[in-house]
Amino acid sequence: MKKIKQLFAGAILTTLGLPIAKADYALNLMEGVTKVSNDIYDLHMLILWICVFIGVAVFGTIFYSIYHHRKSKGHEAAHFHEHTTVEIIWTIIPTIILVAMAIPATKTMLELDDVLESEMSIKVTGKQWYWDYQYLDSGVHFESHLDEMSEKSHRGNTIDPHTVPNYLLSVDRPLVIPINKKIRFVFTSADVIHSWWVPDLGWKKDANPGFINEAWTSVPTPGVYRGQCTELCGRDHGFMPIVVIAMNQGDYDNWVKTTLEKQNAKPDLSDQSHEQLMANGSSVYLKNCVACHQIDGKGVVGNYPALRGSAKVNGGVDPLIGFLQAGTSKMPAFAKLKDNELAAVITYIRNSPDIGNKVGDEIQPKAITPVYDDDE
Amino acid sequence: MSAVTAEHDHDDHHHDDHAHGPEKGWLRWVVTTNHKDIGTLYLVFALAMFFVGGTMAMIIRAELFEPGMQFVDPQFFNSMTTMHALVMVFGAVMPAFVGLANWMVPMMIGAPDMALPRMNNMSFWLLVAGILLLASTLFMEGGAPAGGWTLYPPLVLQTGKALPFAIFSVHLLGISSIMGAINIVATILNMRAPAMSLMKMPMFVWTWLITGFLLIAIMPVFAGAVTMLLTDKFFHTSFFDAAGGGDPVLYQHIFWFFGHPEVYVMILPTFGVASTIIPVFARKPLFGYSSMVYATAAIAFLAFIVWAHHMFTVGMPISGELYFMYATMLIAIPTGVKVFNWTATMWKGAMTFETPMLFSISFVVLFTLGGFTGLMMSIAPADFQYHDSYFIVAHFHYTLVPASIFMIMAAGYYWMPKWTGHMYNEKIGQLHFWLSAISVNILFFPQHFLGLAGMPRRIPDYAIQFSDWNMISSIGGFIFGASQLLFLYIVVDTIKGGTGEKVTDEVWEDAHKHGLEWTLPSPVPYHTFSTPPTVIPCDHD
């Protein structure tokens, strides 16, 4: 069956004269990995075949009619214009089909909706334009951004997207879950509406600001499952993918342990070399700043100010630190950045040739003096 | 069949020709209250907007031709998808149908003009003002609205300077639509020739009567929703802001209470045109006239009680999900009746395949495809996969392009000889049809595959595995776009004289048995039916 599909697709392409290179001509819905996604696939195939069947009957009639009942063949027009029995039949048969279809659909809907008796919960917060994952049981908490290569490729237009592994579908920190556990997700948003979709899990769910939505999954096989935001959420809607890694319970427990250790470790505030600061700064910039100020630091005219040549960026360091920590009505506060990250990104925006600034200094973590100090 | 031809009242027409012609010069088109002039204005405007919206679609397809960002900024891309939809819906499809109604409803019911001619003029010029205002947002600081044509908050509130202008333009377009709808309803209910009972009206008139009521019911709802956006943004209300006790999802409920009937506003007159054209070229009366009327009314009623099927994944209680699923599935029944009726009309006819008929047949087939995917999406659990993917983009484009737009063009081919007195070039017409019908499928069919494979809608760039179908879709799009220039050529050519062949009054063989308009001279005089016809054709008694 799959071969036939490939051939069919290939034939279309050949007629169009297109090169069949690295072809991926997926035609049908993916079955997914969970029981719910399989049930949905079955529903999809059932309704699809019903449609195909009706389509063949109706279109067959139309084309038979076109071929035989044409004036050029000398066919004389009949003059009937109603037939009560036929009309009743073609009202009742679709009704029966629909009722038959509603039964399995209702079953799956109830299954999809049942979030009770879950074994762990993950809070997913959509933000412009990344996902924030918080494991409500273990306390693991991190942000998941588009990976650096995809980021550079779609923004800079110098890296060929074909060379990027899983272009636009990979992240810096994937969501990790254990297999065979009923996991409840709670969704919300910090700004606009987002929607969390991993086709292999069988569903998507909107993340609405100020409200909580629920959904659940239980993945039977270890693997990497990819998806994307599916509710238009602004400029970078196309650039906030989702990656879920399902692993065995033992591996998962280890992952939680090491992640928590890293998460709770004090940041390294010792002095760094210029190169180190610039490298770290670049990756902080790509995660936190690039969406508005752009990869070349030119911003977007009318929306986001340029960093290139900006007096604020190239001026005094202390006001700049304060500005980044406090934010404004238009710019979010970046108090979440640790001192070493803040130092690196400030060094980067003041000195990177990509941004187009050349102050010629380096800001060390210890130079960061907090506006609001959380520890006191 | 008891069709009787209305006799020409020649004295009457002579009287018309000499008594009161159009205003001289360009002012005619500004101050006119003549239903034919206003119909022409609407149709020309709609055609112009079809090309404006089409250009935006070409920009979208060009950016999606290959993975990676090549031509436009993501924000501008979002503006393009938003404006493409708004311009096509409010600037092209709706005005085109109002234009057809203006031209044809009085001629089909034996009325001298629309019931409210001055309001008719005003509703057209408000439409122009509304669309110009909308278009002007493209040049404003922060760009045109980029939150999708549904204007969902909170995203739409992030629009730059354009927001209040876009909202005011929606108000203007709404006022224009309401006035147009009131006019059409008033004309149909009050100005029919005495012999024309409701159940003798042509289907196009019936579908517009029902569409008129839909419009009057829903446009104020939309106006209310966008006004709440305005006050949320500028007057510190919190209708849609949880922080102030509001709910962003409330907007979606209000919007789709408007939005679902709105999509039927664009399809019901389409049904009417198909039901008008198919019998003429099948040389048979329309099958199941009364069930067509009831099915149209049933679809219109259902339109009001299924809105949240656009919101299955927004987070509704299970009872809501199930109710909206069942209600939505019901739509398949009256819609099925219509498709079966058209098929039965063709069955055992004596068909010929002039351009209007070709478009109509492809409408029946391709609209049914769009209906099938609609049925698939009514299955709520499956919609958890389909929703907001390219599958739905394919779905609604099938119901809008090879359905609404094809039938608007079919109507153009069908009635242009009557309007202008000239025959269009059949060869080029058929070329236009075949190019359009083939390319529209190359354009939209692969989008089903993309959606099922997991490509979300409204993204300016995509993962590599979506490359091939996107490229094919774009190629189809470019062919489709270019083919429409043929239509423009045909319209201009026909107005200028067409094939030079003098068309008869009935234009199409035995058309006078199917509608009053074919009893009038070609080209149709400036004023018609100053006295109502006494005998009307009716082929379904």
d(CA A375, CA A364): 20
Q: How far is B402 from chain A (nearest CA, A)?
A: 16
Q: Where in chain A is the domain with CATH 1.10.287.90?
A: 23-113
Question: Three-class SS of residue B25?
Answer: coil
DSSP-assigned letter for residue B522: S
Subunit contact B154:A205, Cβ cutoff 8 A: no
Region A120-264: CATH code = 2.60.40.420
Report the phi/psi class of residue B174: left, alpha or beta, with left for phi > 0 and alpha for psi in -120 to 50: alpha
Sign of the four-CA dihedral B412, B414, B419, B421 = positive
Average pLDDT over residues A57-80: 93
**Selected residue with higher pLDDT from B180 and A1:** B180
Residues B439, B483 contacting (CB under 8 angstroms): yes
pLDDT of B177 reads: 97
Check pLDDT > 70 for residue A17.
no
Model confidence over B314-352: pLDDT tens digits?
999 999 999 999 999 999 999 999 999 999 999 999 999
Subunit contact A61:B347, Cβ cutoff 8 A: yes
Rounded to a whole number of angstroms, the CA Rg of chain A reads 28
Amino acid in the structure at residue B317: P
Longest dimension (CA), chain A: 96
List chain A residues with CB under 8 Å of B70: 157
pLDDT of A137 reads: 93
Question: Three-class SS of residue A301?
Answer: coil
What the block records as the tokens of A107 is 């079953």
Question: Three-class SS of residue A130?
Answer: strand
Strand partners, B186: none
Going by their DSSP bridges, the two strands A241-247 and A175-178 should be labelled as parallel
Q: Which CATH architecture has domain A274-367?
A: Orthogonal Bundle (1.10)
Q: What is the ipTM of this complex?
A: 0.91
Subunit contact B463:A168, Cβ cutoff 8 A: yes
List chain B residues with CB under 8 Å of A229: 456
The single residue listed with the structure tokens 């270019």 is B482
pLDDT of A79 reads: 86
Cα B443–chain centre separation: 19
d(CA B536, CA B520): 12
Question: Three-class SS of residue A276?
Answer: helix
Choose, out of A15, A53, A56, A71, the residue to mutate when testing the contact with B (most B CBs < 10 Å): A71
Residue A327 in contact with partner chain B when CB distance is under 8 A: no
Subunit contact B348:A77, Cβ cutoff 8 A: yes
Going by their DSSP bridges, the two strands A183-189 and A120-127 should be labelled as parallel
Catalytic residues of B: 84, 113, 149, 176-177, 260, 262, 264, 275, 309-310, 335, 338, 457
Q: Where in chain A is the domain with CATH 1.10.760.10?
A: 274-367
Check pLDDT > 90 for residue A26.
no
Q: Which of A199, A202, A230 is nearest to A216 (CA)?
A: A202
d(CA B372, CA B306): 17
Average pLDDT over residues A170-179: 96
Q: Which of A104, A110, A121, A132 is nearest to A178 (CA)?
A: A121
Share of chain A above pLDDT 90, in %: 61
Model confidence over B25-65: pLDDT tens digits?
888 999 999 999 999 999 999 999 999 999 999 999 999 99
Q: Which of A280, A259, A75, A165 is nearest to B348 (CA)?
A: A75
Check pLDDT > 90 for residue A23.
no
Residues in chain A: 376
d(CA A146, CA B322): 36
Q: Which of B427, B446, B438 is nearest to B483 (CA)?
A: B438
List chain B residues with CB under 8 Å of A45: none
Amino acid in the structure at residue A354: D
d(CA B320, CA B340): 31
Amino acid in the structure at residue A123: K
Residue of B nearest to A112 (CA): B381
Subunit contact B325:A78, Cβ cutoff 8 A: no
HSE-up of A84 (CA within 13 Å, CB side)? Answer: 0
Question: Distance of CA B100 to CAs B108, B197, B279, Å?
Answer: 11, 22, 19
Angle at the Cα of A129 (from B318 to A337), degrees rounded to 5? 120
pLDDT band for position A271 (50/70/90)?
A: confident
Of A13, A26, A81, the CB nearest to B286: A81
pLDDT of A15 reads: 53
Check pLDDT > 50 for residue A318.
yes
Q: How far is B12 from chain A (nearest CA, A)?
A: 34
pTM confidence score: 0.92
Kind plus residue range of the DSSP H or E element containing A143: strand A141-144
Subunit contact B344:A69, Cβ cutoff 8 A: no
d(CA A114, CA A215): 8
List chain A residues with CB under 8 Å of B321: 109, 113
- The helix, strand and coil proportions of chain B, stated in percent and rounded to the nearest 5, come to 70, 0, 25
- B248, burial (CB in 10 Å: exposed 0-12, middle 13-18, buried 19+): buried
Residues B15, B530 contacting (CB under 8 angstroms): yes
Of B313, B325, B462, the CB nearest to A206: B313
Average pLDDT over residues A190-198: 96
Amino acid in the structure at residue B423: M
d(CA A1, CA B488): 44
CB proximity list for A332: less than 8 A, separation 6 or greater: none
pLDDT of B8 reads: 45
pLDDT of B349 reads: 94
Residues A35, A218 contacting (CB under 8 angstroms): yes
Check pLDDT > 60 for residue A21.
no
Question: Distance of CA A2 to CAs A7, A26, A32, A39, B473, Å?
Answer: 9, 9, 17, 21, 22
Q: Phi then psi for A36, rounded to 5 degrees?
A: -60, -45
DSSP-assigned letter for residue A19: -
Going by their DSSP bridges, the two strands A223-229 and A194-198 should be labelled as antiparallel
d(CA A371, CA A335): 9
d(CA A207, CA A213): 7
Mean pLDDT of chain A: 89
d(CA B33, CA B113): 9
Residue A79 in contact with partner chain B when CB distance is under 8 A: yes
pLDDT of B340 reads: 96
Check pLDDT > 60 for residue A16.
no
Q: How far is A1 from chain B (nearest CA, A)?
A: 16
Of B74, B289, B339, the CB nearest to A58: B339
pLDDT of B161 reads: 92
DSSP-assigned letter for residue A309: T
Angle at the Cα of A243 (from A239 to A248), degrees rounded to 5? 175
Q: Where in chain A is the domain with CATH 2.60.40.420?
A: 120-264
pLDDT of A328 reads: 84
What the block records as the tokens of B330 is 């019901």
Q: How far is A82 from chain B (nearest CA, A)?
A: 5
Question: Three-class SS of residue B350?
Answer: coil
**Chain A to chain B, count of Cβ pairs less than 8 Å apart?**
310
A23-113 has CATH 1.10.287.90 classification: yes
Strand partners, B351: A70
The single residue listed with the structure tokens 């412009």 is A128
Q: Which domains are assigned to chain B?
A: 10-519 (1.20.210.10)
Amino acid in the structure at residue A16: L
Residues A142, A263 contacting (CB under 8 angstroms): yes
Residue A22 in contact with partner chain B when CB distance is under 8 A: yes
Residue of A nearest to B285 (CA): A81
The parts of chain B modelled with pLDDT lower than 70 are 1-20, 539-541
Check pLDDT > 50 for residue A283.
yes
The single residue listed with the structure tokens 């969406």 is A291
Residue A338 in contact with partner chain B when CB distance is under 8 A: no
pLDDT of B162 reads: 94
**Selected residue with higher pLDDT from A371 and B496:** B496
Residues 89 to 118 of A: which have CB under 8 A from any B CB?
Answer: 90-91, 94-95, 98, 101-102, 105-106, 108-110, 112-113
Rounded to a whole number of angstroms, the CA Rg of chain B reads 23
HSE-up of B519 (CA within 13 Å, CB side)? Answer: 25
Amino acid in the structure at residue B110: G
Q: Phi then psi for B363, rounded to 5 degrees?
A: -60, -50
List chain B residues with CB under 8 Å of A72: 352
d(CA B42, CA B112): 19
Q: Which of A190, A184, A72, A169 is nearest to A125 (CA)?
A: A190
Choose, out of B459, B478, B514, the residue to mutate when testing the contact with A (most A CBs < 10 Å): B459
- The helix-helix angle for B390-399 and B248-282 (nearest 10°) equals 40
d(CA A237, CA A235): 6
Encode B232-252 in three state secondary structure: HHHCCCCCCCHHHCCCHHHHH
